[in-house]
Structure 1
Amino acid sequence: MCGAVKFEVHGDFDSFYLCHCRYCQKDTGSAHAANLFSQSARLVWLAGEEAVASFTLPGTRHQKCFCRTCGSAVPNTHIPGLLVVPAGCLDSELSRVPTAHLFTSSRAAWDHALGDVPEFSGLPKAT
């Protein structure tokens, strides 16, 4: 978000999951995390690798990597043989659609039947 961390991904993603587990809800502050996974793609840091921090929730495998400057999510390279990239941190367009929703038994109560919620292309005007 702040531009301190820059990277490129070389290769393809294997899957794109929307995870609704409670951990992902807490670390995104939203209904779910949207992460891309690859066992073969390679991450190349262009700038700011030293600005990347990670947090692992004790007693779990749940881990988040983030920029120390602004806190935004960045790719996770700490899982051997797996690259995990938060979809929202990419600057390029992503043509891939999600592979699946995970942990839907933990789905937020307000994350159902959203098709009828009004949509705005930007911030709505104050009434």
Structure 2
Amino acid sequence: MTKEMHTPRHQGSCLCNTVRYEVSGELGELICCHCQRCRKATGSAFIAVAPVPKANFRITHGEAALKTYRSEAGVCRVFCGQCGSPIMAYRESAPEILRLRVGSLDTPLPTQVSAHIFVGSKAEWHEIHDEAPQYTERP
């Protein structure tokens, strides 16, 4: 069985460069989630994610360094065990779709935020200044 040759559209890595990956297809819409769980997972006001079919995502280096945290809701957050950088997440109920943490991309992302979700529980110290739609919860 031969591997299909492809040119990655996007490449990314963790902070310490132990984990590297590539995405061979298009990324889905860029979503910023402001829920408390995402704030705690990032230590920031929100997390920026884009859905990617698992078939289009490939770890190219450092797979053994990846660690997974599974929440009670069946969400698995995958991060570098060396530096803690979030790489992706997925729901156990839909493992074929990854939620790529776009802050880990090394290649440019020529898109704008398409929506802000869970703004009903966003950090009170953060203001949203773009024109993307805002949803109190998940639309």
User: After TM superposition, is the score higher than 0.5?
Assistant: yes
Considering Cα pairs closer than 8 Å and 6+ residues apart, tell me whether 1 or 2 has the greater RCO.
1
Distance in 2 (CA, whole Å) between partners of 1:101 and 1:113 is 9
Contact 2:75–2:89 (8 Å) recurs in 1: no
Structure 1 residue ranges (4+ consecutive) displaced by more than 3 angstroms after TM superposition: 76-79
> Which residue number corresponds to residue 53 of structure 1?
67
Distance in 2 (CA, whole Å) between partners of 1:37 and 1:30 is 20
Contact 2:66–2:81 (8 Å) recurs in 1: yes
> Which residue number corresponds to residue 49 of structure 2?
35
Aligned length: 114
Distance in 2 (CA, whole Å) between partners of 1:67 and 1:108 is 25
Q: CA deviation at 1:56?
A: 1.4
Q: CA deviation at 1:39?
A: 3.5
Counterparts in 2 of 1:86 and 1:113: CA distance versus 1, 3 Å = closer
Structure 2 gaps of 5+ residues are 1-14, 131-139
Distance in 1 (CA, whole Å) between partners of 2:107 and 2:129 is 26
Residue 114 of structure 2: which of 94, 99, 111 is its match?
99
Contact 1:54–1:63 (8 Å) recurs in 2: yes
- Supply the RMSD in Å over aligned alpha carbons: 2.0
Q: CA deviation at 1:13?
A: 1.3
TM-score when scaled to structure 2? 0.74
> Which residue number corresponds to residue 75 of structure 1?
88
Counterparts in 2 of 1:106 and 1:68: CA distance versus 1, 3 Å = same
Higher relative strand content: 2
Distance in 2 (CA, whole Å) between partners of 1:113 and 1:34 is 13
Secondary structure, aligned partner of 1:81 = strand
Q: Deviations over 1:58-117 (max 9, x none)?
A: 2x13331100111111133664220211011000111111110000100111112679xx
Distance in 2 (CA, whole Å) between partners of 1:89 and 1:70 is 12
TM-score when scaled to structure 1? 0.80
